[in-house]
């Protein structure tokens, strides 16, 4: 055999094994390519699904934003069913028969992009729970978005903005011009211009500390100003239409633990230091610890004086001096004939509801009834032509105390609409008066800060902390008054020394203050407010660094963001905003 033939035979055997190798490699590569292609196809499917889910969620949120725009364009929107709103349309809409909607009505969808007719494009539908709209200024919105056959649903609470969004709000940081302890009733010694600036001619004519566009400023006059002092702790957002005065005590500054907002025009373009914030946002020479949270400027917002409206709100209505002590879901009530001119209480039912139990007869002397939860307790003036001062013990057998000068002012006459209150409450109720609310002891929540108990205190005049004194300034029975009550949240007195008021407080024309604040007490006692405070004028609660009266310890009740005591007033020109939002399963009736 020739060498060439041998080589040819060898090459022929090698060619066969190479073919097997090539074919095997192609099979492996094909499998890899097919696997990769399958992964890519699946990934595209998942990516598309993720995209559709995100688009549907965005569409649901667009529905909430669309509702807010309607509410802010027309504050009365939602009071009646809007038949022209396609987003509300459906087969089971409450009151939908008025719109011609029924069991065969298709669910209404509004495209996110106006004018779109693509059935796979993003669109939204929503339903409204209006049961808390009137009483609480809150609406629950259930909004569903769809995109390319994918559905996402969110449930949110939208609400009207108001002073209850802040732990502390004031229109003016100066003393109430009707406070005769600081201003003479005749305004002697004050010029006409000074009287106007300080509010003596009405709060609507008074000046703020900062200079307005007309050149007016209260800082040009010797009005009676009130300061935050070292030892005061404000735990929650603060809003003032005025300019805060802050003073140190023992090297300690008043402490603001959350955002401070002021209408002072100089509080803009701030630097990064606390000292710069003090210089631009407070009065000259003032100090405060902002705890690394820069204050901010905002145009003024104003309290809505709806005090007269409470006389028509559902609940228990009394006239003349009234005493209430809460005890869980019950309350003990005194509203005597000698104070109410022989007028029995009036029980006003909520629309579609039953009338509450408010006590019977014209002489209610310690009757125990259920708290009208979800409603109001209103105390108005008697129509008696010549109201007189309450005699000792006339209100409830104990109050007024003998020789107590806090009861001798004309607005504390026995036929006037004043309410004296204390106790542990279980429920949601707002107390409102044509005159003042006097807190005679702790007001605490039976369920603590995480329960559902809410209390509103709305006075046309003032909310006052009871502090009985004699004409010579000496205190009356300080071991008993104000009454102390164990706070269920901690199982002890809270604070240890002082008084607690767990409530959303609004004084629509005057102040929240301590009676005879410059006499007695002191010794580190604290006024602990667990809720919010809104007042037309600053009310004094003590002097110096707690040498008399109380130091402030104000802590915001975060629940007020989402739910309010019944009929609590909102801003004069209130806007609606988103309060909460969370994802929920989409109802099957919306899919199809």
Assess whether 312 and 428 both reside in one domain: yes
Task: Find out whether 371 and 320 touch, Cβ atoms under 8 Å.
Answer: no
Assess whether 361 and 376 both reside in one domain: yes
Among 255, 238, 237, which residue's Cα sits nearest to residue 246? 255
Assess whether 308 and 297 both reside in one domain: no
H or E element in which residue 418 lies: none
What are the DSSP calls for 267-313, one per residue?
--S--SSHHHHHHHHB-TT---B-TT---EE-----B---GGGGGGS
Assess whether 121 and 173 both reside in one domain: no
Final residue in a domain of this structure, among 271, 301, 331: 301
Assess whether 195 and 292 both reside in one domain: yes
Among 514, 536, 481, which residue's Cα sits nearest to residue 178? 536
Query: How many residues in total does the chain contain?
Result: 592
Question: What's the CA gap between 366 and 565, in Å, rounded?
Answer: 25
Assess whether 237 and 137 both reside in one domain: no
Q: What Rg do the C-alpha atoms of the chain give, in angstroms?
A: 33
Question: What's the CA gap between 7 and 12, in Å, rounded?
Answer: 9
User: Is 560 among the domain residues?
Assistant: no
User: Is 72 among the domain residues?
Assistant: yes
Residue with tokens 């004018």: 115
Q: Residue 252: how many CA atoms within 13 Å on its side-chain side?
A: 14
Assess whether 148 and 172 both reside in one domain: no
SS3 of residue 234 by DSSP: strand
Task: Find out whether 381 and 311 touch, Cβ atoms under 8 Å.
Answer: no
Residue with tokens 């228990």: 316
Assess whether 296 and 312 both reside in one domain: no
Tokens representing residue 489 in the block: 């949240």
pTM for the whole structure: 0.88
Assess whether 151 and 169 both reside in one domain: no
Task: Find out whether 311 and 317 touch, Cβ atoms under 8 Å.
Answer: yes
Pairing of strands 330-335, 364-370: antiparallel
If phi > 0 it is left, if psi is from -120 to 50 it is alpha, else beta; for residue 55 that is alpha
Assess whether 396 and 249 both reside in one domain: no
| Helix, strand, coil tally for the chain in percent (to 5) | 20, 30, 50
Assess whether 453 and 486 both reside in one domain: yes
If phi > 0 it is left, if psi is from -120 to 50 it is alpha, else beta; for residue 262 that is beta
One digit per residue, the tens of pLDDT, for the chain of length 592 reads 444 444 444 444 555 556 555 555 565 555 555 555 554 445 454 566 789 999 999 999 999 999 999 999 998 898 889 999 999 999 999 999 999 999 999 999 999 999 999 999 999 999 999 989 988 889 999 999 999 999 999 999 999 999 999 999 999 999 999 988 899 989 999 999 999 999 999 999 999 999 999 999 999 999 999 999 999 999 999 999 999 999 999 999 999 999 999 999 999 999 999 999 999 999 999 999 999 999 999 999 998 888 889 999 999 999 999 999 999 999 999 999 999 999 999 999 998 899 999 999 999 999 999 999 999 999 999 987 677 899 999 999 999 999 999 999 889 999 999 999 999 999 999 999 999 999 999 999 999 999 999 999 999 999 999 999 999 999 999 889 999 999 998 999 999 999 999 999 999 999 999 999 999 887 889 999 999 999 999 999 998 777 899 999 999 999 999 999 999 999 988 899 999 999 999 999 999 7
Q: What are phi and psi of 86, to 5 degrees?
A: -60, -30
Assess whether 367 and 500 both reside in one domain: yes
Q: What are phi and psi of 289, to 5 degrees?
A: -95, 110
Pairing of strands 315-319, 346-348: antiparallel
Quick one: three-class SS letters along 51-111? HHHHHHHHHHHHHHHHHHHHHHHCCCCCCCCCCCCHHHCCCCCCCHHHHCCCCCCCCCCEE
Domain of residue 423: give its range.
304-536
User: Is 24 among the domain residues?
Assistant: no
């Amino acid at each position: 055999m020739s060498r060439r033939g041998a080589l040819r035979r060898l090459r022929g055997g090698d060619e066969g094994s190479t073919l097997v190798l090539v074919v095997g490699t192609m099979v492996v590569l094909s499998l890899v390519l097919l696997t990769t292609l399958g992964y890519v196809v699946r990934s595209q499917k998942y990516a598309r699904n993720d995209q559709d889910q995100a688009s549907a969620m965005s569409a649901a949120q667009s529905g909430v934003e669309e509702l807010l725009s309607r509410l802010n364009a027309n504050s009365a929107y939602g009071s009646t069913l809007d038949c022209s709103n396609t987003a509300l349309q459906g087969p089971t809409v409450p009151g939908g028969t008025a719109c011609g909607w029924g069991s065969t009505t298709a669910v209404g969808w509004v495209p996110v992009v106006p004018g779109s007719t693509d059935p796979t494009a993003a669109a939204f539908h929503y339903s409204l729970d209006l049961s808390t709209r009137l009483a609480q200024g809150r609406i629950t919105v259930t909004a569903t978005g769809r995109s390319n056959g994918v559905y996402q649903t969110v449930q949110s609470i939208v609400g009207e903005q108001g002073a209850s969004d802040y732990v502390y709000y004031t229109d003016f940081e100066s003393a109430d011009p009707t406070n005769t302890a600081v201003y003479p009733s005749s305004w002697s010694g004050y010029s006409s211009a000074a009287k106007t600036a300080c509010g003596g001619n009405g709060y609507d004519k008074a000046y703020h500390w900062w200079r307005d566009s007309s050149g007016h400023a209260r800082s040009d006059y010797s009005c009676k100003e009130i300061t935050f002092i070292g030892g005061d702790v404000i735990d929650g957002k603060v809003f003032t239409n005025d300019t805060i005065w802050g003073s140190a005590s023992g090297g300690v500054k008043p402490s603001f633990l959350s955002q401070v907002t002021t209408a002072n025009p100089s509080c803009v373009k701030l630097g990064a230091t606390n000292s710069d914030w003090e210089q631009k946002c407070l009065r000259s020479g003032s100090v405060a610890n902002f705890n690394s949270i820069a204050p901010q400027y905002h145009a003024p917002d104003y309290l809505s004086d709806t005090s007269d409206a409470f006389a028509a709100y559902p609940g228990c209505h009394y006239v003349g001096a009234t005493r209430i002590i809460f005890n869980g879901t019950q309350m003990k009530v005194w509203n005597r004939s000698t104070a109410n001119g022989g007028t029995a209480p009036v029980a006003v039912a909520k629309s579609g509801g039953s009338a509450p139990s408010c006590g019977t007869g014209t002489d209610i002397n310690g009757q125990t009834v259920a708290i009208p939860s979800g409603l109001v307790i209103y105390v108005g003036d008697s129509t008696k032509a010549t109201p007189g001062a309450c005699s000792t013990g006339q209100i409830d057998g104990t109050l007024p105390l003998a020789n107590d000068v806090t009861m001798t002012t004309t607005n504390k006459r026995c036929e006037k609409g004043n309410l004296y209150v204390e106790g542990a409450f279980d429920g949601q109720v707002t107390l409102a008066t044509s005159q003042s609310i006097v807190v005679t002891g702790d007001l605490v929540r039976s369920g603590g800060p995480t329960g559902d108990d809410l209390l509103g205190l709305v006075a046309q005049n003032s909310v006052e902390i009871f502090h009985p004194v004699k004409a010579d300034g000496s205190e009356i029975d300080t071991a008993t008054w104000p009454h102390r009550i164990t706070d269920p949240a901690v199982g002890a007195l809270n604070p240890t020394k002082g008084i607690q008021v767990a409530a959303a407080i609004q004084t629509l024309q005057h102040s929240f203050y301590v009676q005879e604040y410059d006499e007695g007490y002191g010794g580190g006692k604290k006024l602990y407010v667990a809720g919010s405070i809104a007042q037309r004028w600053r009310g004094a609660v003590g002097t110096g660094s707690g040498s008399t009266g109380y130091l402030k310890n104000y802590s915001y009740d975060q629940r007020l963001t989402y739910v309010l005591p019944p009929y609590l007033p909102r801003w004069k020109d209130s806007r609606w905003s988103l309060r909460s939002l969370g994802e929920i399963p989409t109802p099957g009736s919306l899919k199809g």
